[in-house]
């Protein structure tokens, strides 16, 4: 079975790459060991972050570093036995998070973010799943005026630099928009140009159905069987192509390293749990509790509580201590009912030390291409990454300058 391109990884990024290649007339095979959207893409907060022009940086204030070192913070935890392995990545991440360097990174990152909403809307309309995307924006809420004022100043800078639209909410306006949140909140920020998804897994599955409808082929297989040529073993037999795309998220690193591209990829794990809302309470927006580092999002299954970051080896056993720590606080923010999942879900965010994804060719391996390392913004950037990589692979004019995302920067 021969194809014009093989895409390895059926998360949001891989599905969107495959979809755009197929739309451009290539015969495409999409390979994963699970059904589309069942790994990291399944369990995120469901945000399409048009405001996310500055990727999430490593805290540099001494007080913050000291707080995280104690490993009791609500928003970041770590496995002590993984720190030696992760130290080189964290050191480079910390250096790239210097304000001047972070601002430089944002100038490249914002070129992708600019297209995130429009690209999702277009692909969702083609796939017939526009009903899964909500245009209501999302919120950060604050428990203290001091934190509210600092974050509002940051949002105002984003608006000046990148035309990021937001609404500052005093306590009365916040109560009007979210009447069932804790009355003691100081205020909030509502990012009005952002959108959210009621079921991220279903959205990816919908994009994958569209890929199949326009002639693409889905295969169950293991990317570890990839051999130069390029070929991959699947449940239906060996498939071959002159082009292969690594879009395996956190599992891209080992495959790339085996083929001569050792990437400094770090993993931030995260957890979620769904809850009933106590009747008649209703949550209208995804809401981030800034001081406590968790997010509540209204989803098709219920209210999803998502945690911050856990620094650990990719396949280490689950340790959902953050979820257990923030659940009582979340119950005070919004009237959550019973847990709806048998156990916490865990996902893995693939992160680069300069916070930019890796998108483009592997120039020392003819026919190999990369599309991974999107960290917290995989869902946000999936469709625009798919369009950009398809344009690069076909020699077309690109939607943005791809140079900042080249693999050779490492």
pLDDT of residue 65: 87
pLDDT of residue 62: 87
Segments in the chain below pLDDT 70: none
Q: CA 367, 253, 349, 397: dihedral to nearest 10 degrees?
A: -20
Q: What is the 3-state secondary structure (H, E, C) of 52-90?
A: CCCCCCCCCCHHHHHHHHCCCCCCEEECHHHHHHHHHHH
pLDDT in tens, 234-260: 999 999 999 999 999 999 999 999 999
How many H helices and E strands in the chain?
11, 23
pLDDT of residue 160: 96
Domain extent listing, the chain: 2-44+201-263+355-409, 54-84+133-194+265-351
pLDDT of residue 131: 98
Q: What is the pTM of this model?
A: 0.96
pLDDT of residue 87: 95
State which CATH number among 3.50.50.60, 3.90.25.10, 3.30.465.10, 1.20.1250.20 fits the domain covering 2-44+201-263+355-409. 3.50.50.60
pLDDT of residue 204: 98
List the CATH code of the domain at 54-84+133-194+265-351: 3.30.9.10
pLDDT of residue 165: 96
């Amino acid at each position: 079975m021969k194809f014009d391109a093989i895409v390895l990884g059926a998360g949001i990024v891989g599905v969107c790459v495959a979809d755009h290649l197929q739309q451009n007339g290539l015969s495409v095979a999409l390979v994963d060991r699970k059904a589309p959207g069942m790994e990291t893409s399944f369990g995120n907060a469901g945000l399409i972050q048009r405001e996310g022009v500055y990727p999430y940086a490593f805290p540099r204030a001494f007080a913050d570093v000291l707080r995280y070192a104690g490993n009791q913070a609500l928003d970041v935890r770590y496995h002590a036995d993984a720190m030696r392995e992760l130290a080189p990545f964290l050191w480079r991440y910390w250096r790239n998070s210097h304000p001047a360097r972070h601002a430089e990174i944002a100038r490249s990152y914002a070129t992708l973010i600019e297209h995130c909403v429009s690209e999702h809307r277009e692909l969702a309309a083609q796939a017939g799943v526009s009903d899964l995307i909500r245009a209501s924006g999302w919120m950060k809420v604050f428990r203290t005026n001091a934190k509210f004022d600092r974050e509002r100043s940051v949002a105002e800078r984003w608006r000046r630099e990148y035309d990021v639209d937001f609404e500052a909410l005093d306590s009365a306006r916040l109560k009007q928009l979210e009447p069932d949140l804790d009355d003691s909140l100081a205020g909030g920020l509502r990012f009005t140009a952002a959108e959210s998804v009621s079921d991220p897994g279903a959205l990816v599955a919908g994009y994958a159905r569209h890929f199949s409808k326009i002639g693409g082929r889905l295969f169950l297989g293991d990317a570890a069987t990839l051999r130069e040529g390029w070929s991959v073993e699947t449940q239906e037999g060996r498939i071959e192509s002159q082009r292969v795309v690594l879009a395996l998220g956190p599992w891209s690193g080992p495959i790339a390293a085996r083929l001569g591209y050792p990437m400094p990829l770090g993993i931030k794990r995260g957890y979620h749990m769904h809850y009933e809302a106590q009747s008649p309470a209703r949550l209208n927006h995804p809401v981030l509790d800034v001081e406590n580092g968790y997010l509540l999002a209204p989803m098709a299954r219920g209210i999803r509580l998502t945690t911050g970051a856990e620094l650990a080896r990719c396949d280490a056993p689950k340790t959902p201590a953050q979820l257990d720590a923030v659940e009582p606080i979340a119950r005070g923010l919004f009237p959550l009912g019973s847990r709806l999942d048998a156990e916490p879900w865990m996902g893995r965010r693939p992160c680069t030390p300069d916070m930019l994804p890796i998108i483009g060719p592997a120039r020392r391996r003819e026919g190999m291409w990369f599309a991974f390392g999107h960290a917290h913004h995989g869902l946000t950037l999936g469709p625009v990454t798919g369009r950009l990589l398809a344009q690069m692979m076909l020699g077309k004019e690109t939607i943005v300058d791809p140079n900042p995302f080249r693999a050779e920067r490492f």
